Amino acid sequence: MKPYDVVFEQALTRVDPERIHHAAFRAIRAATPVTSRLVRTPLERRAGATSHVNAMGLAFPHPLGLAAGFDKNAVGIDGLAALGFGHVEVGTVTGEAQPGNPQPRLFRLTADRAIVNRMGFNNDGAEVVARRLAAWRAAGGGSILGVNIGKTKVVPEEEAVRDYEKSAGLLAPHADYLVVNVSSPNTPGLRDLQAVEKLEPLLAAVRRRADEVRPNHRVPLLVKIAPDLSDDDVVAVADLALASGLDGIIATNTTISRDGLASPRAEVERIGAGGLSGRPLTDRSEDVVRLLRERVGPDLTIVGVGGITTVDDARRRLAAGADLLQGYTAFVYEGPLWPRRIVRGLARGQ
């Protein structure tokens, strides 16, 4: 058992998950001056030389990045990158600031190495995050940065395009790539936007707005989809991505399914609604990646996320067709050394 496992099981599980998240994130940010100066091992230097990924016109140092949701407000990008993530995706950011859903809204299912969240896109809003990112860039921030944008809860569906356009206009100038999130289960009506007839005009509007604010640089645009889409709907999104010139697809977000869990049913029912992440997503997320790759061919970028815990998980997701990988829940359960373990493991397999 790793030292972090002992701390997690004996101490961290006794405290509310959201409180632990904020405390751990403060520690990560405070440690940045130290972690950013750590000398990498020869193996890690070889990993950087051999594991780089060219995707969407960007040069990623290796495949593994941090999924959106951990750093919602872009306050700790450097600290997270210093832990070994090759890219960091911040957000989800909405057009307007919002507090999110009532607490408690973050829960662990430790028997499944899973998390249930119904955070509800709590964030400082696009204007504040844009100012923060501008200051970060001005200070020399150079990590590959994705910005994930979503719909403000109080904005009605018929005004969703305008809301996403506002976020894109403010945030695209600072992003290496932009992600349209239409797949969180925690904003009412959001997943309805995954339907192709609604998704197509939304993506077109975001693309136009991003091009307007950065006329001399095309910011790659991706869409993040749910694992709960049927195979036919996954194929439809893949076809739309090709037809609309999308740069990539992130597969997948959290699931509303509770099938096949090891956790007691009473515990699952007590927790209630929310998006489930972690190991239970492994198989379905891998299947969606494989289905997408078969449909879109070799050129469109696919980011595999959902249930990636071990080096073998990472290798299988890459073999299924992912160009890049992201993690979140495994980072919580496995601790701050997890990203470097995955990167080193992938390098050994080359």
Kindly give, in sequence order, each residue whose CB lies less than 8 Å from that of residue 65, ignoring residues fewer than 6 positions away: 85, 86, 87, 88, 89, 144, 146, 303, 324, 325, 326, 327
Please tell me whether the peptide bond between 104 and the residue prior to it is cis, using omega within 30 degrees of 0. Answer: yes
| 8 in a labelled binding site | no
| 50 in a labelled binding site | no
| 329 in a labelled binding site | yes
| 198 in a labelled binding site | no
Distances (CA, A) of 203 to 1, 89, 231: 46, 19, 21
d(CA 255, CA 150): 17
Of 51, 167, 183, 184, the active-site residue reads: 184
| 13 in a labelled binding site | no
Q: Please tell me what DSSP assigns to residue 301.
A: E
| 117 in a labelled binding site | yes
| 107 in a labelled binding site | no
| Structure-token match 């593994």, residue found | 64
Question: Would you say 234 and 284 are in contact if contact means Cβ atoms under 8 Å apart?
Answer: no
Question: Would you say 210 and 221 are in contact if contact means Cβ atoms under 8 Å apart?
Answer: yes
| Structure-token match 């379905």, residue found | 284
| 91 in a labelled binding site | no
| 253 in a labelled binding site | yes
| 54 in a labelled binding site | no
Kindly give, in sequence order, each residue whose CB lies less than 8 Å from that of residue 37, ignoring residues fewer than 6 positions away: none
| 73 in a labelled binding site | no
| 76 in a labelled binding site | no
Question: Would you say 53 and 323 are in contact if contact means Cβ atoms under 8 Å apart?
Answer: yes
| 48 in a labelled binding site | no
| 69 in a labelled binding site | yes
184 is catalytic: yes
CA angle 105, 111, 112 (to 5 degrees): 75
24 token code pair: 């751990």
| 121 in a labelled binding site | yes
- What is 227-263 written as a DSSP string? TTS-HHHHHHHHHHHHHHT--EEEE---B---TT--S
d(CA 120, CA 289): 26
| 153 in a labelled binding site | no
Kindly give, in sequence order, each residue whose CB lies less than 8 Å from that of residue 70, ignoring residues fewer than 6 positions away: 21, 25, 80, 328, 331
| 60 in a labelled binding site | no
| 101 in a labelled binding site | no
Active-site positions read: 184
Binding-site positions for substrate read: 72, 117-121, 181, 186, 253-254
Binding-site positions for FMN read: 68-72, 92, 148, 181, 224, 252, 278, 307, 328-329
Binding-site positions read: 68-72, 92, 117-121, 148, 181, 186, 224, 252-254, 278, 307, 328-329
